[in-house]
Amino acid sequence: MDSSYRARLRAGDAAAFGQLFDDHAGAVHRHAYRSTGCRSTAEDVVSLTYLEAWRLRGRLRPDGDSVLPWLLGIATNVLRNTNRAARRHRAALARVPRADTVPDFADELADRMDDVGRVAAAKAALAALRPLEREVFALCVWSGLDYATAAEALGVPVGTVRSRLSRARTKLRALAERALPPAPAPPTAREPAPLPGQVQGGRATAARSNQEMNR
């Protein structure tokens, strides 16, 4: 990447940040949506990520290739804060007495239209992972970062990324195996039902039946 572009970002150039948004907002949104399963939350994460990128622009390295790992690292921290805030919000709601309300089905319908079910299922599976394993899995598998760029995004050694991703894959593989339905039992061999006029059974039975009929 042109070092002057990074220099413009570090200097707070508005046009450079506009290009940064155009180039990578979609990738940040996909990363957030896959992690949360909620489009509106993902949009909030994108906004907060770019606000943080503006605030932390001076920490961007002056040289390097794509700035996407830097952005995804910021997005990962935003997601951590978002998850903590969501947990506190749920805990506060749990302490409030429930009131009888009319349910609003708009969100449910929107979720069905957007096929959120698959994302929710993936999110449920990832819930079995530790948060740090989940972050590495999301960056390397969903966002397609290699070990080095994921390590840059998270600020950890490459070996840490490798070990966390290996543990995540092992856990998800075991979870998938437990979730698979058992293989159907092979059909038992049964003698076909007799056609009209046929006698079901062995030869001895058929012979006795014929003798009785000839009496």
Crossing angle for the helix pair 147-154 and 158-179, to the nearest 10 degrees: 100
Average pLDDT over residues 58-77: 91
Domain borders along the chain are 1-95, 127-181
* Least confidently predicted of 22-26, 100-104, 210-214: 100-104
- Mind listing the pLDDT tens digit for each residue in 115-171? 555 666 666 777 778 888 888 988 888 888 889 888 988 889 999 999 999 888 888
Q: Are 49 and 77 in contact (CB under 8 A)?
A: no
CATH topology of domain 1-95: Rna Polymerase Sigma Factor; Chain: A (1.10.1740)
Mean pLDDT along residues 95-113 = 48
In contact, 143 and 27? CB cutoff 8 Å: yes
Q: Does the domain formed by 127-181 have CATH 1.10.10.10?
A: yes
Confidence of residue 72 (pLDDT cuts 50, 70, 90): very high
Name which of 103, 94, 83 is nearest 37 in CA terms: 83
Q: 10 with 62: CB under 8 angstroms?
A: yes
Q: How many CB atoms lie within 10 A of CB 99?
A: 5
**Cβ-contact 145, 161 below 8 angstroms:** no
Length of the chain: 215
pLDDT of residue 20: 94
**H or E element, residue 152:** helix 147-154
User: How far, rounded to the nearest angstrom, does the alpha carbon of residue 105 sit from its chain's CA centroid?
Assistant: 24
The pLDDT of residue 188? 58
